Amino acid sequence: MGSKVTPEEARTNYLLAALDDKDLERILSKLSPMDFTLGDVLYESGEKMEYAFFPTTAIISLLYIMENGGTAEIGIVGNDGLLGISLFMGGETTTNRAVVQSAGKALKMTAHDLKEEFQLARRFQELLLRYTQALMTQISLTAVCNRLHPIDQQLCRWLLLSHDRLHTDKLVMTHDLISNMLGVRREGITLAAQKLAERKLITNSRGTMTVIDRQGLEDAACECYKVVNAEYNRLLGRGISRTYN
Write the pLDDT tens digit of every residue in 28-46: 999 999 999 998 999 998 8
Greatest mean pLDDT among 89-103, 111-125, 170-184: 111-125
Residue 136 phi/psi, 5-degree rounding, is: -65, -35
**Percent of the chain surpassing pLDDT 70:** 96
For residue 41, what are the β-bridge partners? 99
Q: Give 106's strand partners.
A: 34, 55
* Count of positions (residues) in the chain: 245
Cα–Cα distances in Å, from 83 out to 28, 37, 170? 17, 16, 23
**What is the C-alpha to C-alpha distance for residues 112 and 118, in angstroms, rounded to an integer?**
10
Q: Quick one: pLDDT at residue 110?
A: 97
The pLDDT assigned to 2 comes to: 45
1 confidence band (pLDDT: 50, 70, 90) = very low
- 175 compared with 106, residue with greater pLDDT: 106
Q: Which domains can be identified in the chain, with CATH numbers?
A: 7-121 (2.60.120.10), 144-236 (1.10.10.10)
Q: What is the mean pLDDT of the chain?
A: 90
Please provide residue 215's backbone torsions phi and psi, each rounded to the nearest 5 degrees: -65, -40
CA dist 9 and 208 (Å) reads 27
Report whether pLDDT(230) > 50. yes
- C-alpha distance from residue 169 to each of 135, 161, 165, 239 (Å): 23, 12, 10, 18
**What is this structure's pTM?**
0.89
pLDDT band for position 173 (cuts 50, 70, 90): confident
Q: Is the pLDDT of residue 116 over 90?
A: yes
Using 50, 70 and 90 to split pLDDT, how confident is the model at 243? Answer: very low
**pLDDT band at residue 3 using 50, 70 and 90 as cut-offs:** low
